[in-house]
Amino acid sequence: MSHNNTVSILNREIIRIHRTFLAWLMILMAIFSLSGCSDDDPTVVQDDPSWEVILEPEYTQRSVWGVTEANYFTVGEHGSIRHYSNGQWQSWQFDFSSSLYGVWGSDSEHVLAVGENGVCYQFDGQQWTGRHTYSPGGLNGIWGTDWENVYAVGNSGAVVHFDGNNWSPLDVGVETNFYSVWGTAEDNIYICGSSGIVMHFDGSVWLEQDSGIDQVLDCIWGFEPDDIFAVGSLGSITHFDGISWNPENSGTTERLWSVRGLPGHDPVAIGSGGIFLTRGPDDWNPRVIAEGRYLYGMWDNQDSALLMTGYNGLVQQVTDPAWQIISVGHTHWIKDVFTPSCGEIFAVGKQGVVLQAHGGGWQNIAPPLDGVDYSGIWGESDDDFFIVGTDGVIARYRGGRPWETWRLQSEVNLEAIWGVNSDDVYAVGAGGIIVHFDGLNWEPMTSGSDRPLMAVHGRSPEEVYAVGAGGTILYFNGIIWQEMQSNTSLPLTGIWCRADQQTVAVGSSGLIINHSGQLGEDTPWLVQDSGTLFSLKNVGGDDQGHTYAVGDNGTVLSYDGSQWTSMHSGHHDRLNTLDLDPCGNLVTAGHWGLVLRHGF
């Protein structure tokens, strides 16, 4: 048996053992994640004090409830809760795996938030406490007549009641999913949900009503007992006149997540794609607001102000006749960072952003190109760097000059960029594309692969690597690109060349492979123990030998040249990228706009 075959068999066996370990670890973590909330304060993971949040993540906010238009709470994805008061925001985050979908209160010292897995948090004006709801399913909506009479509804027919002290489950005789609850009095309460179901409580029994709709109904609300609306999927709207429900023409097929109204004004409905509907004398009139961003929750002060929440932290207020953006939120997920000097950070991501840390805040310095998502950044200084993105866009920033921009004729998406210097730069992307910049022009190179390439890095003009889907590893020797045998079919998403001649690639399911020494297509790649099951998105370091990998669930790993060690970031958001500044600080960033820095 040849040496190469022996290595291949050995690596396949290591990968098999690695996957088995990860599978068992995932099962154990899933079991622990199913535990409900207790009567004690929710457990909050404490951050490593060496970690600093440079840019806070902003999660999609699904529901809003307020005391006044200047004092309100929003809840959202990944266990996030925010409180706006006196012009300031205060934020909490509890169980990352349980998003929150409903919030309601009787005053600022009596607030309840509910969500996935039946979780509930109670606010007393100072702190949040976890409470058992005994719900058979996740909770999607909450409403009450007062603090001693609150209802929450959810999946699998879940209806639970709060009496001011404890929650107790109710049996309404239906096991479908419920999404909203609202009423006018203790003996006039409605819930709605899947397949157009509407249930009514008259103080004694719950009875199903014919809504005239067979689509999901996501929200129910009304002005009076004889003027009630329910909205849902495919633009469904139905109206109750005190006798029967009657479907209405919405003029849209977008999903409608909420309906509300101000006294003396027509009701409005909001939903997917920034849809905003107002009810006219005959039909509803749709238009798009919030730059097309999803809108989910609404609350009104029963006078003149209407609050709306939405995608990635968006909060806006409507007061006749003006719109006010309270929180614009992040419209980007960060894909790559560049730290040319100590304390200076550039970050690129979705929605065409090129962010620069500036004066304690951030400014967007992106070139004037529409519809581009940026995925890679590389440069030699803060006055000379390149970015790449979708549709074959490449742009170069040089201080004091306008952006230089190129767009590949193929308009293929570019994912990563790296250079030996500013006159020797490589960009890689979809379909195995590799293009090279010689200081004047970008020229295509023959890669020999049609698989998507996700990362590129090298040591010199005669040693450059690109990795991608299906375990693809390409090696450039200064003349041609050739494929290397990675002995894995898992996607590879990051590559880094260490100063000690080790080359490290990372990928799905915590995979890390390494090679050192002889170069060429037959160079063996060996599996290393990462100690994690979470997919790794990138790997990087500095010329001093410091090497790190980042990935899903806030994973950060450190490599000392022989073994990998976990660093607890204190976050669970996906981390897509990393860079080390000249002072040795590790900067990492990812989904929801999160940017972290670790000082040593």
Contacts of 478 (CB under 8 A, 6+ apart): 461, 462, 463
Residues 347-374, mean pLDDT to the nearest whole number: 91
Do strands 334-338 and 322-327 pair parallel, antiparallel, or not at all (unpaired)?
unpaired
Residues 357-386, mean pLDDT to the nearest whole number: 92
Q: What pLDDT, in 10s, does the model give residues 177-236?
A: 999 999 999 999 999 999 999 999 999 999 999 999 999 999 999 999 999 999 999 999
pLDDT at 520: 66
Contacts 24+ apart (CB under 8 A), 363-372: 365/397, 367/395, 367/403, 367/405, 368/403, 369/393, 369/395, 369/405
pLDDT at 281: 87
Judge contact between 150 and 54, C-beta under 8 A.
Answer: no
Measured in degrees and rounded to the nearest 5, phi and psi for residue 69 equal -70, -10
Residues 318-345, mean pLDDT to the nearest whole number: 87
Chain centre to alpha carbon of residue 410: 30
pLDDT at residue 517 is higher than 80? no
Report how far residue 506's alpha carbon sits from residue 200's, in angstroms, rounded to the nearest whole number: 55
DSSP-derived secondary structure letter, 58: -
- Comparing 167-176, 318-327, 470-479, 489-498, the range with the smallest average pLDDT is 318-327
Q: What pLDDT, in 10s, does the model give residues 107-121?
A: 999 999 999 999 999
- Comparing 25-29, 313-317, 582-586, the range with the smallest average pLDDT is 25-29
Q: What pLDDT, in 10s, does the model give residues 81-98?
A: 999 998 999 999 999 989
pLDDT at residue 61 is higher than 50? yes
pLDDT at 521: 65
Percent of the chain with pLDDT over 90: 81
Which CATH code for domain 331-437?
A: 2.130.10.10
Q: What pLDDT, in 10s, does the model give residues 568-598?
A: 999 999 999 999 999 999 999 999 999 999 9
Report how far residue 236's alpha carbon sits from residue 220's, in angstroms, rounded to the nearest whole number: 12
